[in-house]
Amino acid sequence: MKVALAIWNNRISPVFDSAHQIAIFTIQDGTAHPSGEALLEETLPQKKIARLLNLEIETLICGAISRPLACLIELSGIHLISFIAGPADEVLTAYLSDSLEKKKYQMPGCWNAENCPRHQRQCHCPHCRKKRKQKNEDMYSC
């Protein structure tokens, strides 16, 4: 399985919509093997998604992301883990140990629906997504 982290200065890029680089890892038997980095020079969302698909990315971990782009990514079949912050190596380790939901990796102000001013109606942070997933709700209403 290939996982991509949107990166900027060895950290998760704060906004995927304007991210220009991803680090790619192949996950095998619970271990991450670096597969290189790729530039995302495309500005159109559809072309950015096409680039991810051409790279055979199955999971994308990123910071903030616009709702339309998030919806298109998920509709393309890529598993999206958004609103994540922190050093890329720590985030990858947390992903592998299934602990990305810790507040430490959440973007500031986006750890639950009550405290997420940008997403008052429906927060997209992993904590809230997990709650919705348990209720079998659609995350983006595409």
Determine the pLDDT at residue 120: 39
**Total number of domains in the chain:** 1
Q: Is residue 132 part of a domain?
A: no
Q: Is residue 88 part of a domain?
A: yes
Q: How many CB atoms lie within 10 A of CB 14?
A: 14
Q: Is residue 128 part of a domain?
A: no
- Please identify every stretch of the chain with a pLDDT value under 50, giving residue numbers as ranges: 113-123, 136-142
Determine the pLDDT at residue 94: 94
What are φ and ψ of residue 111, in 5° steps? Answer: -110, -10
Question: Is residue 107 classed as helix, strand or coil in its secondary structure?
Answer: coil
Q: Is residue 115 part of a domain?
A: no
Please state, in angstroms and rounded to a whole number, the distance separating the CA atoms of residues 142 and 64.
18
Determine the pLDDT at residue 124: 56
**44: containing domain:** 2-108
Q: Is residue 113 part of a domain?
A: no
User: In whole angstroms, what separates CA 32 from the centre of its chain?
Assistant: 16
User: Tokens representing 98?
Assistant: 């299934």
Determine the pLDDT at residue 37: 95
Q: Is residue 122 part of a domain?
A: no
Please state, in angstroms and rounded to a whole number, the distance separating the CA atoms of residues 110 and 82.
11
Q: What is the CATH number of the domain that holds 80?
A: 3.30.420.130
